[in-house]
Structure 1
Amino acid sequence: MSDLQAKPIRLHAFLAAAGIASRRACEELIKQGRVEVDGQPASIGQKVYGTEDIRVNGQPIPVLSQKRFRYILLNKPKGYLSSIKDPQGRPCAIDLIAPSIPDRLYNIGRLDQWSSGLLLFTNDGNFAAQLMHPSSEIDKEYFVQTDQPIPPGFAASFMRGIILEGVRYRAHAVRVVAPDKAHIVLIEGKNREIRRVLEHFGLRAKILERIRIGPLSIGELSPGQWRDLTEQEIYALKAYMSSRPSNKGPRK
């Protein structure tokens, strides 16, 4: 078992990553006594490694260490949802991958429907949960083209922090490269953060594309194309995650 897999995660997050249901629904399953870990009723907040005998309604969840892990990078086109399925029948990003992959995959993080760019998929629950957790502090870079020139104070204000409706939005870095174009790096990344800040300045995103997550870049993939990560990329991403300040122990 790798060092990354040796870190436990909360049971409801593990079940959600395994595709059982949403995190909230998995918590309800645990509350209802429908989840067992090594023959004992599970409890809310319980942590697991993924190698235990975990059962939902008596049915075993596959041991992660016995699965062949897949790590896939997709260039999500505009108009696709970051969901496994949509009740309204709108196209989902997973539909671009699923016909070619027998494994049950789930996306790591999200991009809103009208944003494009780098989106990761995997069947490695531990890896997904740790990468998605805010404490991982993985930086994500976005390319933005706006419908109007970007005002002079935009970059400094966004990096200093902007409070909108009681929520503070703060970019790690902003680099304006043309009157209507910028590169923005976020660490945590709240829902529609860049779009909300743009709207605050009277701007609208004509293009909002995620081009990098940590050491991974979108490269030459065209919208709708995907590929497996190389072993070197997987190693680099895991090493990058381990190097983040939150994973090095207490800060001085």
Structure 2
Amino acid sequence: MSDKKARSNSEQEKKLRLQVYLAHAGVASRRASEEIIRSGRVRVNGTTVTQMGTIVEPDDVVEFDGRKVKPTRTKVYIALHKPSGYVSTVSDPQGRPVILDLIPNHVADRLYPIGRLDLLSTGLLLCTNDGELAAHVMHPSSNIEKEYVVETDAPIPEERLLQFRRGIMIEGVQYRLRHYQIRSPRRVHLVLQEGKNRELRRVFSSWGLEPRRVHRVRIADVHIGKLPPGGYRNLTQAEIASLMKSSAAGRERPRRAAEPARRRRT
């Protein structure tokens, strides 16, 4: 191959379709990136782009939600202990603290949260620049378990938890608990698989109980452990492999029935 042809091929390889560019930058999977583009959240060289197939040149400046993004070959996977009062996004139009404020710039660059915790909730949050893995983990079909500690000021009736395990409907949305452990009359550990927006707060509010604390302690095989509020760590290779395996297995198997309730008092 001539030098001219080699240079031509090299230049072509550096050009990417916008949705591929976003996926390589860890924003989202390619399919999810297409929806992000259509929603008008992406700008190329200062111009909002909503059309598929836009080609990004090596020197182009791409922004997602006002933040510059670039593809990276090095994948980063972080476990973060989110404190209360932080928003689970990369930026906030209201100027509230965001979770990436807790991570140094050289680490946080091009990182995005996998899922969310609401403003008041605390605990384990995963961040990565691997858009494909993030999309698989967040997709409802992955069936990845998420474990929470919920504390209330009033006793939590076990019959309510049994109803939750069977499935309950609130304002046209169905919520289902995988299993639970009662640690005290006002403290329970709950395991969800799908984890809809503000699910636990909506369910407890429908019972007339306002959670005093909603704290996530586990996602799949990743545990928060002794990570302090505001602290973070890199995932181990075993944890990364487990997430990949769990998300792949969830998409391949049919949804299983909920496990029987387990009760443990301390």
Q: Indicate how the Cα distance of structure 1 residues 209 and 63 shifts in structure 2: closer, same or farther if over 3 A, else same.
A: same
Asked if residue 170 in structure 1 is aligned to residue 166 in structure 2, the reply is no
Task: Quote the offset at 1:23 in angstroms.
Answer: 6.5
Find 2:37's aligned residue among 26, 39, 45: 26
Distance 2:215 2:160 in 1: 19
Q: Could you tell me which residue of structure 2 aligns to residue 236 of structure 1?
A: 242
Q: Which among 208, 215, 218 is matched to residue 221 of structure 2?
A: 215
In the TM superposition, what whole-angstrom CA distance separates every residue of 1:13-53 from its partner, at most 9, and x where no partner exists? 8389437x9864412469x99578xxxx639xxxxxxxxx7
Q: Percent identity between the aligned chains?
A: 42
Task: After TM superposition, give the deviation of residue 242 of structure 1 in Å.
Answer: 2.7
Name structure 1 gaps, 5 residues minimum.
1-10, 44-52
Equivalenced residue count is 224
CA distance in structure 1 between the partners assigned to 2:108 and 2:115 by the alignment: 21
Match of 1:123 in 2: 129
**Stretch deviating more after TM superposition (21-30 or 72-81):** 21-30
Computed over aligned residues only, the root mean square deviation of the Cα atoms, in angstroms, reads 3.4
| Residues 1:95 and 2:101 are matched in the alignment | yes
**Does the CA contact (< 8 Å) of 1:16 and 1:22 recur in 2?**
no
Taking the aligned partners of 2:57 and 2:253, their CA distance within structure 1 comes to: 33
TM-score w.r.t. length of structure 1: 0.77
Distance 1:54 1:205 in 2: 47
Residues 42 and 15 from structure 1, CA distance in 2 versus in 1: closer, same or farther, beyond 3 angstroms?
farther
When Rg is computed on C-alpha atoms for both structures, the one with the higher figure is: 2
CA gap 1:22/1:55 in 2 versus in 1, 3 angstroms: same
> Contact between 2:103 and 2:232, CA under 8 Å: does it hold in 1?
yes
Gap change, CA 1:24 and 1:16, over 3 Å in 2 = farther
Question: Structure 1 residues 63 and 161, CA, compared in 2 at 3 Å: closer, same or farther?
Answer: same
SS of residue matched to 1:155: helix
- The whole-number CA distance in structure 2 between the counterparts of 1:134 and 1:250 is 10
